[in-house]
Amino acid sequence: MDINTKALKKNAFRVTKVRGITASRVRVPGGHLPTEYMGMIKAIADEFGNGTVHITSRQGFEIPGIRYEDMPAVNERLQPIIEGLNINQQTPGKGYPSSGTRNVTACIGNRVCPYACYDTSAFAQRIEKAIFPNDLHFKIALTGCPNDCAKVRMHDFGIMGMSRPHYEKERCVGCEACVKKCRTKSVEALTFRNYKVERDAKTCIGCGECALACPTRAWTREGEKRYRLTLLGRSGKKNPRLGVDFIKWVDEESIIKIILNTYDYVKEYIDPNAPGGKEHVGYIVDRTGTEEFLKWAMRDVELPKGAEVISPLYWGGIRYR
């Protein structure tokens, strides 16, 4: 058997522990898909695989038990899924292009969840279009609100939804439902004074609890979407650590630009001898210094009014050695 393992890995297949057998990896950007594609995945698993599917930790499906020689046939069968999920692809019919950059994951977001501040899957799909295909090792995740169900702080770029609260004093009847919710569920940014509510903008994390609690629509969410962007969290064998806050109240445009800029930075500074050509962004930043990274990342970025850049940035984390 003569198989180019390097090439198949770049085609979203895997070298498994079973000789002669591969697995196909189906990415679902934003973790949301029409059910018709599930039927297609099932058909591939039944026909070419072993009749099982693994739901991956990054919101994809891995179809195990496929023979290497069936890869072209599988790729053909994957084509409608790739098109349907709007995946950037160089050559139609040749399967998923892959990929040091991992599937962009998202919590269920505001299509379903009452707490979510935006449509996480839609934003994930927008990022997908901007960055794929790409061989560099990037992990990006989106979560609807500061509850962070998607655990975005474990990612190079963590995107957390924020709702900028809007207070219409004239509609406030002083029931204090917002004050109580902010105190018990969030950061205690609201105080009741002179029968109206005052918000400490520095403390507020934009979780939206006030807008949820308000019975009269005195508190609502401003329509313009804003986010908290966290930086350079990671898992791994050297120094796993949580991503730290980078920009509060940042907008979508800036986030996408910062991510694309970071690809340029990585291309410039990645260790040419990194195993498999993959190196976590964070280790590169450790080497170049944060200043140099920020110089690249913020190139031509015009932050929206009200965005707060946190500086300086410090990471901690666990060091195994």
Partner 1 sequence: MGYYLKEREADRFLKELSADYELYAPVKMKDDGMFSDTDTVRYGKIAKASDIVFDEKSDYSFKEVLLPLSETLFFFTENQMKEADGRKKGAVIFLRSCDLHAVKRLDEIYLKNGYEDYYYKRIRENVKFVLMGCKSCFEDCFCVDMGTASADFYGLSMEPKDGGYQLDNKYAEWDGILEELCQEKLPVTPSTVTETKVRVTIPENLTLDVAKSGMWDEYDGRCINCGRCNFACPTCTCFTMQDIFYTDNGKVGERRRVAASCMVDGYTDVAGGGSYRKKNGERMRFKVLHKIYDYNKRFGYHMCVGCGRCDRICPEYISFSGCIGKLEEAQKEVENHDAE
Q: Which is nearer to partner 1, 195 or 291 (CB)?
A: 195
In DSSP notation, 41-89 reads HHHHHHHTS-S--EE-TTSEEEEEEEEGGGHHHHHHHHHHHHHHTT---
Q: Which is nearer to partner 1, 223 or 312 (CB)?
A: 223
218 and 172 Cβ atoms separated by less than 8 Å = yes
Q: Which is nearer to partner 1, 195 or 264 (CB)?
A: 195
Q: What burial class does residue 38 get, using C-beta atoms within 10 Å of its C-beta: 0-12 exposed, 13-18 middle, 19+ buried? A: middle
312 and 250 Cβ atoms separated by less than 8 Å = no
Distance between CA atoms of 121 and 137, rounded to whole angstroms? Answer: 21
Shortest distance in whole angstroms from residue 246 CB to partner 1: 22
Q: DSSP secondary-structure letter at 9?
A: H
CB atoms within 10 A of CB 7: 9
287 and 269 Cβ atoms separated by less than 8 Å = yes
Q: Which is nearer to partner 1, 114 or 316 (CB)?
A: 114
**Torsion 233-231-294-296 (CA) sign:** positive
Q: Which is nearer to partner 1, 88 or 220 (CB)?
A: 220
Shortest distance in whole angstroms from residue 129 CB to partner 1: 21
Would you tell me which residues interact with partner 1 (CB under 8 A)?
A: 110, 114, 116-119, 161, 163, 169-175, 177, 194-196, 208, 211-218, 220-223
Distance between CA atoms of 208 and 221, rounded to whole angstroms? Answer: 7
Shortest distance in whole angstroms from residue 180 CB to partner 1: 9
Shortest distance in whole angstroms from residue 315 CB to partner 1: 30
Q: Which is nearer to partner 1, 210 or 255 (CB)?
A: 210
Shortest distance in whole angstroms from residue 176 CB to partner 1: 8
Instruction: Provide the greatest CA pair distance for the chain.
Output: 80
Shortest distance in whole angstroms from residue 85 CB to partner 1: 22
